[in-house]
Amino acid sequence: MKKINLAIIASLFIGLALLIGSCTNTGKAPMKAKQIPLEDFFKNPEKTAYKISPNGTYYSYLAPYESRLNVFIQERGKEEATRITGETDRDIAGYFWPNDEQILYLKDDGGDENYKLYGVNIDGTNLMCFTDFEDVRTQIIDDLEDIPGEVIIGLNKRNPQVFDPYRLNLKTGEMEMLAENPGNIQGWMFDHDGKLRVAFAIVDGVNMSILYRETEQDEWKDVLTTSFKDNMMPHFFTFDNKNVIGTSNLERDKDVVVEFDIANGKEVKVLYENPDYDVSRVHYSKKRKVITSASYTSWKRERYFFDEETRQLFDRLNKELGDYELGISGSNKDETVFIVRTYSDRSLGAYYIYDKTTDKIDKIVDVSPWIDENEMAAVTPIEYKSRDGLTIHGYLTLPKGYTMETAKNLPVVVNPHGGPWHRDGWGFNPEIQFMANRGYAVFQMNFRGSTGYGKAFWEASFKKWGKEMQDDITDGTQWLIDKGIADPERIAIYGGSYGGYATLMGLVKEPNLYAAGVDYVGVSNMFTFMQTVPPYWKPMLDMFYEMIGDPKKDSLMLREVSPVFHADKIVAPLFVAQGRNDPRVNVDESDQMVEAMKARGVDVEYLVKDNEGHGFHNEENRFDFYRGMESFLSKHMGMAE
């Protein structure tokens, strides 16, 4: 079942994985590792996003065709593969098997995020666009695993601000609207029989309600209303379609796994809780009809097993592949054949097929075979205290060959994540490794508001943009200086989305701390930002006002934390990158900032891509951005030869 997470429904950005790497020696010049070509870090993977057909006969994957990721199909046991899509303007954003004969995929135009849904037969015939509507965004609500000829999609075709659910016939392309969104519904949920039974609504702008009906002929009734700060999120129905399994932080700080009496709006029992971290996902076996595991993130992903068979499956995989972290990305309908993905902080890993009937694990492909993990840098979890006593967790990537004990006076790139209601995690990130290879250390921190650490830590960020949230970044930077790791004269700050905003505010609030800044699709003006959000965010504006600030009631505060009004305080050189079609952070956000900087005569470089949105996805644009950033940082961090 697809689900909507109400606890972060008001998130303003998808956290971008804009993470920069590490390294240098204790002298003035960095220790030079074997320099790896920039393109090796940022080109499309050789093959990725493997999935298996419901009958287990074929597997599919994304691979480059004319520099764009397209879908390929390969029969198990055979060498040849068939490319079944030919997109050349934009990567396919995502795809899945709705049945054994078709592939469905999503693609937008130039980064506008108005995704259209396409279908194609597995032999490449009968390509069709099911949702070819202008300025309309398609959502996948439920893939209806047990109904192979249909899926449930959401469209904001009738009203740009809200999504109506439609049942789509994959043979004929006919769509049936299942309910008309009255304007406040933010998500829909179906039972195991494909019946629409649950809806999630905004009430009075800042309260959330769960609506329920016993059958599709019954009227909706409100079974639970809470503040948006409190979360009871159903993930799937119990296997008798009566109660639901979900995660909840009602009357507690952390999200825990619960069984919930959906008809009466009451918690039945807690199934699993972790005292330190939110549980984010719950998994189940559709065939065996049992809950299998729950997952949460400490410094890396961890699992709790409800089911002994699932525990044994992971024990078997770890026995052979345990030098790496691993996850199961899919299985056939009989749950006898599994696609397994490995990874680490130094490797994008590989894909494997595990056949349970033969107990055999076969490697399919290395994702990026041109990357030598022995040349990559380790990503180390760290923690420090904020000035007001919060524990802030994060990661430090040091140059290959350095340790926390031997790293001294390194040039550092401070890299706050996007979101801001998101978090950084452990694993391979090409930005980190690229910058590590170029002689920098990179510092990532999960400042207050980062998700996964409980309700109180999340709420500590409300109306704290540019204030305590920024102080957490500054405190971490100072921690690096105090430990002797960072060279105080060679610290840059770089981030995307909210991280871009934090970059600008860092240069404003701490003009003498950073030698340079790189702002990637970041907010500069809190007023214009909230005026130009996508239409489907507008029902959540009251939440935004409570989380960020009300443009009228909090106008003085918002002006105080809008970097564009304080360009006169910035003395460090700035590099700005922006997509022209960005629906989240309008290009005007970057235009304003660049104009204000140029008016003051401050060194500013500006890169705009006309065919991109919220982040650069086309391969050639990624190359341009990272070339520009590499040159900019080298120039202003004293790293040039």
Give, for 331, the enclosing helix (H) or strand (E). strand 325-331
Q: Classify residue 188: in a domain, yes or no.
A: no
pLDDT value for 175: 96
CA of residue 234 relative to chain centroid, distance:
21
In angstroms, the first-to-last Cα distance of the chain is 54
CB 162 within 8 A of CB 136: no
Q: How far apart are CA 370 and CA 378, in angstroms?
A: 18
Structure tokens at 512: 């003498």
Its sign, for the CA torsion 522, 524, 529, 532, is negative
Per residue in 118-146, pLDDT (tens digit) is 999 999 999 999 999 999 999 999 999 88
The stretches in the chain having pLDDT less than 70 are: 1-32, 640-641
In a domain, 474, yes or no: yes
Element (H, E) at 167: strand 164-169
Q: Are 201 and 192 in contact (CB under 8 A)?
A: no
> Beta partners for 389?
none
Q: Are 551 and 468 in contact (CB under 8 A)?
A: no
C-alpha–C-alpha distance, residues 43 and 369, integer Å: 12
- Give a yes or no: residue 558 inside a domain: no
DSSP 540: G
Q: Report yes or no on 593 lying in a domain.
A: yes
Cα separation, 25 vs 398, in Å, equals 10
| pLDDT at position 322 | 87
Give the number of C-alpha atoms closer than 13 A to the C-alpha of residue 416, restricted to the C-beta side. 36
- Tell me the pairing of strands 256-261 and 266-272: antiparallel
Q: How far is the C-alpha of 567 from the C-alpha of 547, rounded, in Å? A: 25
Of 160, 215, 171, 162, nearest in space to 193 by CA: 215
Q: How many helices (H) and strands (E) does the chain have?
A: 11, 35
Pick left, alpha or beta for residue 521 (phi over 0 → left; psi -120 to 50 → alpha; otherwise beta): left
Nearest to 430 by CA among 373, 492, 493, 381: 373
Number of residues written out for the chain: 641
* Residue 585, domain extent: 15-38+372-524+581-630
Among 479, 405, 474, 487, which Cα is nearest to 441's?
A: 487
Distance between CA 432 and CA 415 in Å, rounded?
9
* Start-end of H helices in 330-459: 430-437, 455-459
**What is the pLDDT at residue 6?**
35
Kindly state the greatest CA–CA separation across the chain.
74
Radius of gyration of the chain measured on its C-alpha atoms: 24
pLDDT of residue 237: 98
Report if residue 44 sits inside a domain: no
CB 475 within 8 A of CB 387: yes
Q: Is residue 407 part of a domain?
A: yes
Nearest C-alpha neighbor of 356 from the set 373, 337, 374: 337
What's the CA gap between 409 and 432, in Å, rounded?
A: 19
Q: Give the tens place of pLDDT for each residue, 314-330.
A: 999 999 998 899 999 99
* CA-wise closest residue to 491 among 480, 482, 501: 480
Whichever domain contains 421, its CATH number is: 3.40.50.1820
Residue 603: the pLDDT is: 83
| Within-domain flag for 358 | no
CA distance 46 to 444: 28
Residue 605 lies in a domain: yes
Question: At 413, which helix (H) or strand (E)?
Answer: strand 410-414
Two tokens at 104? 């469905």
Q: Which residue has the tokens 């006919």?
A: 174
Give me the pLDDT at residue 34, please.
Answer: 87
3 state DSSP class of 35: coil
Domain count, the chain: 1
Quote the pLDDT of residue 143: 94
Distances (CA, A) of 367 to 63, 202, 352, 432: 10, 42, 11, 17
Which strands form 196-203's sheet, in the order they lie side by side? 185-190, 196-203, 207-212, 221-227
Buried b (16+ CB within 10 A) or exposed e, 283-315: bbbeeeeebbbbebbebebeebbbbeebeebbe
- Residue carrying structure tokens 């995929």: 105
Cβ pair 361, 350 in contact under 8 A: no
Angle ∠(106,110,111) on CA atoms, nearest 5:
70
Q: How far is CA 91 from CA 68, 70, 274, 618, in A?
A: 5, 7, 38, 7
Taking phi over 0 as left and psi of -120 to 50 as alpha, with beta for the rest, 306 belongs to alpha
